[in-house]
Amino acid sequence: MIVYLMYYQLFMVKMKVPVIIFTLVVFGMIPLAFGESYPEMGIKIDVVVDNLKVPWAIDFASDGRVFFTERVGNVNVIQNGEVNQIMSLGVGGGEGGMLGIALDPNFDENHYIYVYYTYNEFLGIKNKLVQYSESNNILTEEKILIEGIPGAPYHDGGRIKFGPDGMLYVTTGDAVEPDLSQDVNSVAGKILRINSDGTIPDDNPFDSAVYSMGHRNPQGIAWDESGNLIATEHGPSGWIGVAHDEINLIVPGANYGWPHVFGDQTQDGLTNPILHSGDDIWAPSGSTFYYGKEIPMFDGKYFSSALRGQHIHMIEFDENYGVSYHGELLSGEFGRIRDVTQGPDGLYFMTSNQDGRGNPNLHDDKILRISPLYNYEDSPAWVQNISEWYMKGQITKQESLDAHSYLIERGTISQN
């Protein structure tokens, strides 16, 4: 912005035409210039990229590049404020498609990128996990790590992430064949764990890629600072009932019950969720823990996107993974939300209003970024808590606005 102003002043004196051209270029490259403030929450939200078609997953390189998928079959990169498609594949399967993406933990050295997508086979729909090699934003298929994962127009799983142990974790859906989730010999309805070259880690619970079983359609995985794995999962719909979306604490080898139990139903040998949505429908997808002092009221909390629920679900766990608070953020503000993840400069999330189940807003779909509205540095803890009290419904919107105005007036905080 400073550079822009300098040029503006320079050109203003000399001629008018270059000013206009320069202005167009600058604003074309930096959509982040237009943010929406939520002063009662202490955050602002910027559009990073818009006019997308069902963005599904995102990952960040240390060189500043941002890679993301669009379900219709694309892998894209954001670089220097510009978006470019770097791969487009003919993908299969209704609500399947180009799904998860993950950069290798050693991406800086090996330039490996992993992608999970749905493909059509002669007699059906399948999913595969492929390792690509990246060079100058060109992807070359290196190795198919897993293929033939049962697929369907629905329930294809698809979230892939590296865990803190360096292993690659993969969520798979039941492919609309619930019994597969209970078949330990099938990779459907599971969370899988493999080495980055596709081989099976020695300490997996079964003699296979299977890490946990009895899942319906898990689409979100995230680890806390201590290495605990939390997964989101869509609850039943149709003949067996509806809703009861799940948040599960994943223990290797455990069976999370689908299709035998859901919600609070129990059965020997089956593990219950640590939180479920009851009669509400969240349709949870991508999720993350946020750690950082930049957005202090988010520090240590867990966030899950909600498609049908059209919000970001914020959860606070206690030490024993009981739920001490959970509630909705940004309800109805952006429509269906597919993924939420921590980036280098804030909390990123993406809409999924072009997926056939939503009502697209102008310029949907979008990737958006939440960053702090105020500079909280050196402010006492209770100042940082005001937004959190509002988000948890402990004070009203007006009380939060008044408190923040007062603190700005006093010079305790300043607006970023």
Q: How far is the CB of 240 from Ca ion (least distance, A)?
A: 12
Count Cβ atoms below 10 Å from residue 47 Cβ, excluding itself. Answer: 16
Buried b (16+ CB within 10 A) or exposed e, 318-328: eeeeeeeebeb
Q: How far is the CB of 257 from Ca ion (least distance, A)?
A: 4
- DSSP code, position 255: B
Residue 146, token pair as written in the block: 């897993």
Residue nearest to Ca ion (CB): 257
Q: How far is the CB of 165 from Ca ion (least distance, A)?
A: 24
Q: How far is the CB of 312 from Ca ion (least distance, A)?
A: 22
55: burial class by Cβ within 10 Å (0-12, 13-18, 19+)? buried
For Ca ion, the closer CB: 58 or 315: 315
For Ca ion, the closer CB: 252 or 292: 252
What is the footprint of Ca ion within residues 220-279 (CB under 5 A)? 256-257
For Ca ion, the closer CB: 256 or 390: 256
- CA 416, CA 405: separation in Å to the nearest integer? 14
351 has which bridge partners? 337
For Ca ion, the closer CB: 55 or 257: 257
For 218, residues 6+ apart whose C-beta sits below 8 A from its C-beta are: 157, 159, 171, 172, 173, 191, 231, 232, 233, 234, 248
For Ca ion, the closer CB: 146 or 250: 250
Binding of Ca ion at residue 218 (CB under 5 A)? no
Please name which of 340, 347, 345, 335 lies closest in space to residue 308, comparing C-alpha atoms: 335
Q: How far is the CB of 269 from Ca ion (least distance, A)?
A: 13
- CA 270, CA 119: separation in Å to the nearest integer? 32
For Ca ion, the closer CB: 75 or 175: 175
For Ca ion, the closer CB: 162 or 256: 256
- CA 178, CA 199: separation in Å to the nearest integer? 27
Please spell the DSSP secondary structure of 138-168, one letter per residue. Answer: EEEEEEEEEEEEE--SS-----EEE-TTSPE
Q: How many residues of this chain interact with Ca ion, rule: CB under 5 A?
A: 2
- CA 265, CA 178: separation in Å to the nearest integer? 17
For Ca ion, the closer CB: 291 or 321: 321
Cβ atoms of residues 268 and 247 within 8 Å: no
Q: How far is the CB of 214 from Ca ion (least distance, A)?
A: 6
Cβ atoms of residues 187 and 170 within 8 Å: no
- CA 51, CA 400: separation in Å to the nearest integer? 34
Residue 178, token pair as written in the block: 């619930």
For Ca ion, the closer CB: 101 or 247: 247
Q: How far is the CB of 304 from Ca ion (least distance, A)?
A: 15
Please name which of 175, 166, 121, 117 lies closest in space to residue 146, comparing C-alpha atoms: 117
Q: How far is the CB of 173 from Ca ion (least distance, A)?
A: 13
Please name which of 8, 47, 54 lies closest in space to residue 367, comparing C-alpha atoms: 47
For Ca ion, the closer CB: 187 or 403: 187
Cβ atoms of residues 131 and 103 within 8 Å: no
What is the footprint of Ca ion within residues 321-350 (CB under 5 A)? none
Q: How far is the CB of 215 from Ca ion (least distance, A)?
A: 7
Q: How far is the CB of 250 from Ca ion (least distance, A)?
A: 11
> Which positions lie near Ca ion, rule CB under 5 A?
256-257
